Amino acid sequence: MPDRVVQAPWLQHLLEAIYRGQWQLLQWLHRLGLVGTHDGQAAWPWGRRLSGENLLIDLGQARALLISLGALLFVVLLLLAAWRWRRLRWPAGISALLALWATPWPAAHVLLVPAQASSFHQPTVPWSDQAIQAGAQYYAQHCVQCHGVRGDGHGPLAAQQRVWPPNFAGPLLWQRGDGDLFAHVRHGMHDRQGQPTMPGFAQQLSVPETWQLLHYLRALAAGQVLRATGEWAQAVALPDMQLRCSASNKTSVRDWQGQHLRWVVGAVQEVLPDPRVVTIWLPADGHNAPQQLPPAVDCLVTSQQSARQVLGILLGQERTSDAPALGNVQLLADRHGWLRARNGAGSSAWSEDDLICRTQPSAALEGASAALAEDGLGRLLRLMDATPVRFVKGGRLH
């Protein structure tokens, strides 16, 4: 079950309002020329920002914030009434003071966290096989000596650092917003005494290269989490890939948004055509796909080399010269593009056990089951639709 799932709708709305509100404010300030640009996007002008991610950990504070907002609204209404009707002045004024006094204000240190100029920056590079592959190269060049091949913080230089580099195979990269990670990689990090702990790479990496690197880090982390636990605690989207489709002029995975996608890797003979899913085929290494695609296949991946490498990273089976090639595997993505299930056995054998990204405990899924004669794939697709992914990355709902 994803760590950062938010079940309560009020909390979802509150987090969304906090993020959107600040982001919109920044865009307006930028349009009015009141804030400048940093690394290509509007620069957050303050040293602090409101933190949705802390409210997620401390529900009491989230409730306090909601009550405070209600109280503020009440006070504004009272003041308006006092302004409109003079005789209400005293009672309205006293009620407003009482409301302000009785309100459980949230703690400032929970609600406000340090911010960087790029805290609200968003990736300018799409989540694609080519971006992740490029990021892998930069990682090997600049980062691996401290962070290690698996991103676990066990690179050869790790022990010489002031603090130990973190293990990426956990929630860390999803707790941070894109913009904060971007700032940490470009401008480095410091400890409380102001001493550098992690070097900055703004001189060595361009802005797009930094985003590619961050895409790679999340892909690497996802693969290591899956390898260790058999599940994705954080939701992972199917990366964009270049396609050739038989009955459509679509040319990339992104063009298929809104559909259930079945990503078939390796042999395709056993796979049956299925109108419920769009089937995207990545043939085994060294296998040339025929010009006429097999009947079960809707699209062929044409960016095959990067797609294979990225699949290995996402599944935690990074290929080295002595590791075996990837076997046959199929992955299902839901209508929003999140990868939800994996199966090594063939299209007819899907079952709930293949879910690798669950959004609710299995017991809760039972309620959604229809006892009709439904095959495993049908049940999985229905479960995916009934339990959409709702998780928070850096305080922002996805």
Of 28-36, 82-90, 121-129, 157-165, the segment contacting ligand HEC by CB under 6 A is: 157-165
* The only residue of 17, 25, 98, 163 in contact with ligand HEC, by rule CB under 6 A: 163
DSSP 379-392: HHHHHHHHS---BE
77 binds ligand HEC (CB under 6 A): no
Binding of residue 142 to ligand HEC (CB under 6 A): yes
DSSP state of 47: S
CA distance 147 to 174: 17
Nearest approach, Cβ of residue 182 and ligand HEC (Å): 9
Phi, psi of 153 (to 5 degrees): 85, 20
Residue 218 as a binder of ligand HEC (CB under 6 A): the answer is no
Which residues, 6+ apart, have CB-to-CB distance to 373 below 8 Å?
A: none
Which residues in the 164-183 window bind ligand HEC by CB under 6 A?
165-166, 176, 181
Q: How far is the CB of 378 from ligand HEC (least distance, A)?
A: 40
Using the rule CB under 6 A, give the single segment among 53-61, 108-116, 138-146, 281-289 that binds ligand HEC. Answer: 138-146
Under rule CB under 6 A, residue 161 binds ligand HEC: yes
- Residue 276 Cα to chain centre, angstroms: 26
Nearer to ligand HEC by C-beta: 142 or 187? 142
Could you give phi then psi for residue 186, rounded to 5 degrees? -80, -40
Of 24, 37, 124, 145, the residue at the interface with ligand HEC (CB under 6 A) is 145
- Binding segment for ligand HEC among 120-128, 161-169, 261-269, 289-297 (CB under 6 A)? 161-169
In the complex, the smallest distance separating the C-beta of residue 122 from ligand HEC, rounded to whole angstroms, is 17
Binding flags for ligand HEC, 289-328, as an x/- string (CB under 6 A): ----------------------------------------
Contact criterion met (CB below 8 Å) for 250 and 299: yes
8 Å CB contact between 201 and 193: no
Task: Give me the least distance between CB of 141 and ligand HEC, in Å please.
Answer: 8
Binding of residue 146 to ligand HEC (CB under 6 A) = yes
Q: How far is the CB of 291 from ligand HEC (least distance, A)?
A: 41
Residues 185-214 vs ligand HEC: string with x where CB under 6 A?
A: x---x-x-----xxx-x-----------x-
Say whether residue 184 binds ligand HEC (CB under 6 A). Answer: yes
Q: Record the tokens describing residue 42, joined without a space.
A: 């509007």
Residue (of 133, 105, 118, 96) closest to 46 by Cα position: 118
Size of the site for ligand HEC (CB under 6 A): 22
Smallest gap, in angstroms, from Cβ of residue 391 to ligand HEC?
18
Residues 6+ apart with CB under 8 A from 360: 1, 5, 387
Q: Where are the beta strands (DSSP E) in the chain?
A: 37-38, 41-42, 48-50, 112-114, 189-190, 196-198, 243-245, 261-265, 278-282, 299-301, 329-333, 339-343, 392-393, 396-397
Q: Per rule CB under 6 A, is residue 131 in the interface with ligand HEC? A: no
CB of 35 to ligand HEC, least distance (A): 23
262 near ligand HEC, judged by CB under 6 A? no
Rg (C-alpha) for the chain, rounded Å, is: 25
Q: How far apart are alpha carbons 262 and 332 in whole angstroms? A: 5
DSSP labels, 349-376:
G--GGGBSS-SS-HHHHHTT---SS--H
Footprint on this chain of ligand HEC (rule: CB under 6 A): 142-143, 145-147, 157, 161, 163, 165-166, 176, 181, 184-185, 189, 191, 197-199, 201, 213, 217
